[in-house]
Amino acid sequence: MINEKFSLNWNAALSHNYFNGGTLNNKYLPKQPNQLSNLSIEYCSQCVFSIHSTIKYVGKQYVDNANIEANAVDSYYLINLGINYAMGSLTLSGKINNLLDALYITHGENWGAYWPGATRSLYMEMKYQF
Protein backbone atom coordinates (compact mmCIF):
# COMPACT_ATOMS: atom_id res chain seq x y z
CA MET A 1 0.00 0.00 0.00
CA ILE A 2 1.41 3.37 -1.03
CA ASN A 3 -1.09 5.43 0.96
CA GLU A 4 -4.79 5.32 1.90
CA LYS A 5 -5.93 5.62 -1.72
CA PHE A 6 -3.23 3.87 -3.74
CA SER A 7 -1.94 0.34 -3.48
CA LEU A 8 0.82 -1.31 -5.47
CA ASN A 9 1.29 -5.09 -5.65
CA TRP A 10 3.94 -7.15 -7.41
CA ASN A 11 4.49 -10.88 -7.63
CA ALA A 12 6.89 -12.93 -9.66
CA ALA A 13 8.02 -16.48 -10.18
CA LEU A 14 11.45 -17.36 -11.51
CA SER A 15 11.98 -21.03 -12.18
CA HIS A 16 14.75 -23.12 -13.62
CA ASN A 17 13.12 -26.43 -14.55
CA TYR A 18 15.47 -28.53 -16.61
CA PHE A 19 16.46 -32.08 -17.44
CA ASN A 20 19.17 -33.47 -15.21
CA GLY A 21 21.21 -36.05 -17.08
CA GLY A 22 20.97 -37.93 -20.33
CA THR A 23 21.02 -36.49 -23.83
CA LEU A 24 18.79 -33.59 -22.75
CA ASN A 25 20.98 -32.59 -19.79
CA ASN A 26 20.44 -28.92 -18.80
CA LYS A 27 17.70 -28.39 -21.40
CA TYR A 28 14.63 -26.57 -20.10
CA LEU A 29 11.44 -28.54 -19.65
CA PRO A 30 8.99 -27.70 -22.43
CA LYS A 31 5.82 -25.62 -21.99
CA GLN A 32 7.00 -23.93 -18.81
CA PRO A 33 7.97 -20.26 -18.92
CA ASN A 34 10.97 -19.41 -16.77
CA GLN A 35 9.51 -16.08 -15.67
CA LEU A 36 6.01 -14.98 -14.64
CA SER A 37 5.22 -11.59 -13.15
CA ASN A 38 2.27 -9.34 -12.33
CA LEU A 39 2.36 -5.68 -11.33
CA SER A 40 -0.90 -4.10 -10.15
CA ILE A 41 -1.82 -0.60 -9.07
CA GLU A 42 -5.18 0.39 -7.62
CA TYR A 43 -6.78 3.71 -6.75
CA CYS A 44 -9.64 3.52 -4.25
CA SER A 45 -11.60 6.60 -3.26
CA GLN A 46 -13.06 5.44 0.07
CA CYS A 47 -13.80 2.30 -1.96
CA VAL A 48 -16.93 3.82 -3.48
CA PHE A 49 -15.02 4.14 -6.75
CA SER A 50 -11.90 2.18 -7.60
CA ILE A 51 -9.80 1.70 -10.69
CA HIS A 52 -7.05 -0.88 -11.08
CA SER A 53 -4.58 -1.93 -13.72
CA THR A 54 -2.36 -4.99 -14.03
CA ILE A 55 0.65 -5.61 -16.24
CA LYS A 56 1.25 -9.31 -16.76
CA TYR A 57 4.51 -10.75 -18.10
CA VAL A 58 5.00 -14.33 -19.28
CA GLY A 59 8.52 -15.38 -20.25
CA LYS A 60 9.68 -17.37 -23.24
CA GLN A 61 8.91 -21.08 -23.28
CA TYR A 62 10.15 -23.95 -25.37
CA VAL A 63 7.72 -26.35 -26.98
CA ASP A 64 10.12 -29.25 -27.41
CA ASN A 65 12.63 -31.14 -25.29
CA ALA A 66 15.55 -30.04 -27.49
CA ASN A 67 14.85 -26.31 -26.85
CA ILE A 68 14.91 -25.37 -30.52
CA GLU A 69 14.83 -21.54 -30.64
CA ALA A 70 12.87 -21.40 -33.90
CA ASN A 71 9.98 -23.27 -32.24
CA ALA A 72 9.99 -21.34 -28.94
CA VAL A 73 6.99 -19.28 -27.83
CA ASP A 74 8.05 -15.66 -27.35
CA SER A 75 7.54 -13.82 -24.09
CA TYR A 76 4.67 -11.34 -23.91
CA TYR A 77 3.11 -8.56 -21.84
CA LEU A 78 -0.59 -7.91 -21.27
CA ILE A 79 -2.26 -4.89 -19.70
CA ASN A 80 -5.65 -5.24 -18.01
CA LEU A 81 -7.82 -2.44 -16.64
CA GLY A 82 -10.82 -2.55 -14.31
CA ILE A 83 -13.21 -0.24 -12.47
CA ASN A 84 -15.71 -0.65 -9.63
CA TYR A 85 -18.43 1.73 -8.45
CA ALA A 86 -20.46 0.98 -5.32
CA MET A 87 -23.84 2.54 -4.59
CA GLY A 88 -24.99 1.10 -1.29
CA SER A 89 -25.73 -2.60 -1.86
CA LEU A 90 -25.26 -2.33 -5.63
CA THR A 91 -21.82 -2.57 -7.24
CA LEU A 92 -21.13 -2.00 -10.94
CA SER A 93 -17.88 -3.34 -12.31
CA GLY A 94 -16.14 -3.46 -15.64
CA LYS A 95 -12.90 -5.00 -16.84
CA ILE A 96 -10.92 -4.89 -20.06
CA ASN A 97 -8.41 -7.69 -20.54
CA ASN A 98 -5.62 -7.20 -23.07
CA LEU A 99 -6.28 -3.47 -23.22
CA LEU A 100 -3.80 -2.87 -26.08
CA ASP A 101 -5.16 -5.83 -28.09
CA ALA A 102 -1.74 -7.49 -28.25
CA LEU A 103 -1.33 -10.54 -30.46
CA TYR A 104 0.51 -13.33 -28.70
CA ILE A 105 0.90 -17.09 -28.51
CA THR A 106 0.08 -18.82 -25.21
CA HIS A 107 1.68 -22.18 -25.94
CA GLY A 108 2.65 -24.55 -28.70
CA GLU A 109 3.25 -28.19 -29.52
CA ASN A 110 6.39 -29.72 -30.95
CA TRP A 111 4.43 -30.91 -33.99
CA GLY A 112 3.91 -27.31 -35.17
CA ALA A 113 0.62 -26.23 -33.60
CA TYR A 114 0.42 -22.93 -31.70
CA TRP A 115 -2.48 -21.45 -29.72
CA PRO A 116 -3.14 -17.72 -29.90
CA GLY A 117 -4.01 -15.77 -26.78
CA ALA A 118 -7.29 -13.96 -26.29
CA THR A 119 -7.71 -10.61 -27.99
CA ARG A 120 -9.16 -7.62 -26.15
CA SER A 121 -12.22 -8.59 -24.14
CA LEU A 122 -14.68 -6.61 -22.05
CA TYR A 123 -16.51 -7.85 -18.96
CA MET A 124 -19.33 -6.10 -17.13
CA GLU A 125 -20.86 -7.09 -13.81
CA MET A 126 -23.72 -5.84 -11.69
CA LYS A 127 -23.80 -7.22 -8.15
CA TYR A 128 -26.42 -6.65 -5.49
CA GLN A 129 -25.73 -7.74 -1.93
CA PHE A 130 -28.77 -8.60 0.19
Q: How far apart are CA 82 and CA 40, in angstroms?
A: 11
Computed over every residue of the chain, the mean pLDDT equals: 94
Nearby residues of 57 by Cβ (< 8 Å), 6 or more positions away: 35, 36, 37, 38, 75, 76, 77
Residue 1 lies in a domain: no
Q: Are 96 and 78 in contact (CB under 8 A)?
A: no
Q: How far apart are CA 107 and CA 31, in angstroms?
A: 7
Share of the chain above pLDDT 90, in %: 90
Q: Which domain holds residue 75?
A: 6-128
Residue 109 lies in a domain: yes
Closest CA to 102 of 73, 121, 74, 78: 78
Distances (CA, A) of 120 to 81, 83, 103: 11, 16, 9
Number of domains in the chain: 1
Distances (CA, A) of 99 to 5, 10, 48: 23, 19, 24
- Residue-wise pLDDT tens digits, 84-99: 999 999 999 999 999 9
pLDDT for 105: 96
State yes or no: pLDDT of 66 exceeds 80: yes
Residue 99 lies in a domain: yes
- Residue-wise pLDDT tens digits, 37-46: 999 999 998 7
pTM of the predicted structure, to 2 decimals: 0.86
State yes or no: pLDDT of 1 exceeds 80: no
Q: How far apart are CA 127 and CA 130, in angstroms?
A: 10
Residue 87 lies in a domain: yes
pLDDT for 46: 79
pLDDT for 37: 98
Residue 80 lies in a domain: yes
